[in-house]
Each structure stands twice: as structure tokens, then as C-alpha cells.
Amino acid sequence: MSWRKGGGGDGGVSRRWAVLLCLGSFCLGLLFTNRMWTLPEANEIARPNGNGDEGNTLVAAECGPKKVQHPDYKDILRVQDTHHGVQTLDKTIASLETELSAARSLQESLLNGSPVAEEFKLSESIGRRKYLMVIGINTAFSSRKRRDSIRYTWMPQGEKRKKLEEEKGIIIRFVIGHSAISGGIVDRAIEAEDRKHGDFMRIDHVEGYLALSGKTKTYFATAVSLWDADFYVKVDDDVHVNIATLGQILSNHALKPRVYIGCMKSGPVLTEKGVRYYEPEHWKFGEPGNKYFRHATGQLYAISKDLATYISINRHVLHKYINEDVSLGSWFIGLDVEHIDDRRLCCGTPPDCEWKAQAGNTCAASFDWRCSGICNSEGRIWEVHNKCAEGEKALWNATF
């Protein structure tokens, strides 16, 4: 083929038309290639129209394709985080059982008008102070003379008692409940006595000799909610106590968990009705002639904070025997508790405690076994104090 300028001739194609034809073919090729290889956006896939399944129907809104929503894996991660949070919460709840129990005890004290409630509010506002021990002196409405004899012998009064709390970390209170008719004359008498001395701990308990186990349980539950101490002590109001010696004994066991300290015994279970310390539930302890399990004598004993907290948490299900010292011992059966037998907590009255004091082995508590306390304690406690007391300097010079 020959190339000629111009058009016409023997069917040849002019050079101009050949160039235009090539350019046109090139443009068509570019257009065709772009339409074949351009892919839609991954998140903007339009479904073809048709009469098939709903899943193949064109998704359109106002003549435009609608974006297809993909699964959000953040939701899955949030579910996993929630599951982990629930597990953590379960562990936290378990660790708060003790605090919740203490709060319930405090609420009961507040609802029943406990005179120490304001003191507790003050301590909470500045953070709970740590004490060495709380001494609760078990007393009755008719024991005014016994209380006065203690106030003027071994129990510091007024500013000295406050100093004892602040400097030595020792709380001392007479523990008493209320009468069957709350607000009666005996209750008003205790209120007047408390306004004068300020040394009572009122608890939610109806007073009565046959209800001592319940009183002991309520005392520990209330005391552990009011004061954070290493030890909680119960002592009768006809017992002489040397506070510094008692503090030294307890401080030697302060680092031990679940400690139960006292003069341990396991006396016979009395089955004869009408005798003192008769046990109505004697059949639970086996055949006649059997002895009780090991427990501390009731005149004075001490338990560590863990055990006081245990009583507080479980007080509604702990069984009460007729004798309160037996009841306390039974509550610790089956627990990992260390029983510490210290005979300095149950010395006799003079000459026993007097000879021991002269030998340098001062007693922490003195009483007469035959009376389960100091016989005629209102008058004789002065004699015991004069001959067996450790001396006032021993208390203020003591380091616990």
C-alpha cells in the first residue's frame, strides 16, 4: 500500500485518516480497560437487583447504594471485659464480708441508741485508731457497788482513763444491755450513772442471768464494730485485774492469728437439774460423766480480732449453751484456733496472788474459785488490790 496525500484513489487510506483511526482505537482501549478492572469499594458493594432472595435485593436509599454493616468486634471485646470484671467483683465481695458485718453491727448499735455511737463517728471521720485491747467488764443492774469498787481500785477514772486509751491503746467499759421494759427505772439509773462516769458500753441485749451466752456474743460483735483492737477481753465485775500485766501477756501473742487466751479447763457436764451450772443440753456431750471440751474459765478470757470478727459475722447461727464460757469454747470447735493456757489469768486471792507478786510473778487476774469471783467483792477487792496490785507506775511505764 502506498501512502498518498489527499483522499480518493484506488481504495487507499490517507495518512490523516490512519492517524485518527489509531487515536480512536487507543481511546476506546483505555475506556474498555478502566471499566473492566475498576473494583467497587469494599464497604460499598451494591447488590444486583432481581427477584431472588432478600439477601440479593438491591439496598438503596434515595437512589443511592447503602453501606453494608460488618460485625463490630469491639462489642465482642466489651463482652469479654465484662466477664473479667464480674470475676474481679466476686473476689472483691468475698473480701468485704467482714466489713459488711461490722457495718451491720454498727447500724444495730445506732438504731438502739448506743451512747458510744458518736465516739465511733468521730473515730471514723479521722480514720480508725488501732488499740491493743478492749476490756469489757460484764455487769448487771444490781451491781452498782461492784462497779464502784472497781472504779476506785484497778480501773483508772476520768482523765487517766482517757490517757490510758490515747497513750496505751487500752479501752475499758462496763458492758450492760437493757431491761425487758426498755426505758424503765433501772435503765434510767444506768443512764444517770453513765452521765457521771462515762464508762459504759450499752448493747442490744435483754439482761438476765440465763442469757449470759447471748450477752457475750453481742458484746464481741458490738466491740469489734466500735474499736479496731488486737484483742477483746471479757472479765466479770468481781475480779481484780492488773492491766499492765494483762497487756504484757496479750502483746506477746499479738502477731498470732486466731488466738484464744485464758485458764483452760474441761470440767464435768452437770446433768442433775437444779444444781449450779446444770447443763440442760447435757445429752449433746455424750454419756453421763463426760467432760466438756477444752475452754477458758469464764472469769476472764481474751480472743484475737479474727475470732471476734468471726463471732460478729456468724452470731445469728452460733448456738448458745446455758454456760457462757462453754458457749464461747463451742464456737471455736472445728476452727484453726490456738488455745493458750496462762495461769496468771486465774490466781487466787491473798495469800496466793500476794506471794506470787513478791516473787516477781505478778498475776493478771485474781479471784476465789469457790465463789467464781472474789467472795464479797464489794468489800474484799480493796484487800486484794492493796496486797496484789502491780502498782500505778507499772501501768504508765509499761510498753506494749
CA geometry: angle at 231 spanning 229 and 232, to 5°?
95
Please tell me the predicted confidence (pLDDT) of residue 277: 85
Instruction: Indicate which CATH number applies to the domain containing 210.
Output: 3.90.550
Are 228 and 129 contacting, i.e. CB atoms less than 8 angstroms apart?
yes
Grid cell locating 212:
449470759
Q: Is the dihedral of CA 282, 287, 292, 293 positive or negative?
A: negative
Query: Chain centroid to CA 30: how far?
Result: 82
356 lies in a domain? yes
Please tell me the predicted confidence (pLDDT) of residue 199: 97
231: domain range?
129-262+296-395
Q: How far apart are CA 302 and CA 296, in angstroms?
A: 9
Q: What is the pLDDT of residues 16-33, one digit of tens each?
A: 777 777 777 776 666 655
Give the residue ranges of DSSP H helices in 338-376. Answer: 352-358
Among residues 173, 170, 167, the alpha carbon closest in space to that of 200 is found at 173
**Residue 321, Cβ neighbours under 10 Å: how many?**
19
DSSP class of residue 293 equals P
Are 263 and 163 contacting, i.e. CB atoms less than 8 angstroms apart?
no
Please tell me the predicted confidence (pLDDT) of residue 69: 52
Q: Output the tens digit of pLDDT for each of the chain's 400 residues.
A: 444 444 444 455 577 777 777 777 776 666 655 554 444 444 444 444 444 444 444 444 444 454 545 555 555 555 555 655 655 555 455 445 545 655 555 555 455 444 444 444 444 434 578 999 999 999 999 999 999 999 999 999 999 999 999 999 999 999 999 998 878 899 999 999 999 999 999 999 999 877 899 999 999 999 999 999 999 999 999 999 999 999 999 999 999 999 999 999 998 898 888 888 888 889 888 888 888 999 999 999 999 999 999 999 999 999 999 999 999 999 999 999 999 999 999 999 999 999 999 999 999 999 999 999 999 999 999 999 999 999 989 999 999 8
Q: How far apart are CA 64 and CA 55, in angstroms?
A: 17
**Helix, strand or coil, per DSSP, at residue 347:** strand
Please tell me the predicted confidence (pLDDT) of residue 388: 97
Largest CA distance in the chain: 157
Determine if the pTM surpasses 0.75.
Answer: no
Are 300 and 365 contacting, i.e. CB atoms less than 8 angstroms apart?
yes
236 lies in a domain? yes
Q: How far apart are CA 165 and CA 121, in angstroms?
A: 17
370 lies in a domain? yes
Which residues are CB-neighbours of 270 under 8 A, at least 6 positions away? 276, 277, 278, 279, 282
95 lies in a domain? no
Domain count, the chain: 1
218 lies in a domain? yes
Please tell me the predicted confidence (pLDDT) of residue 49: 47
107 lies in a domain? no
Element (H, E) at 70: none
26 lies in a domain? no
Residues facing residue 174 across a β-bridge: 137, 200
Please tell me the predicted confidence (pLDDT) of residue 15: 72
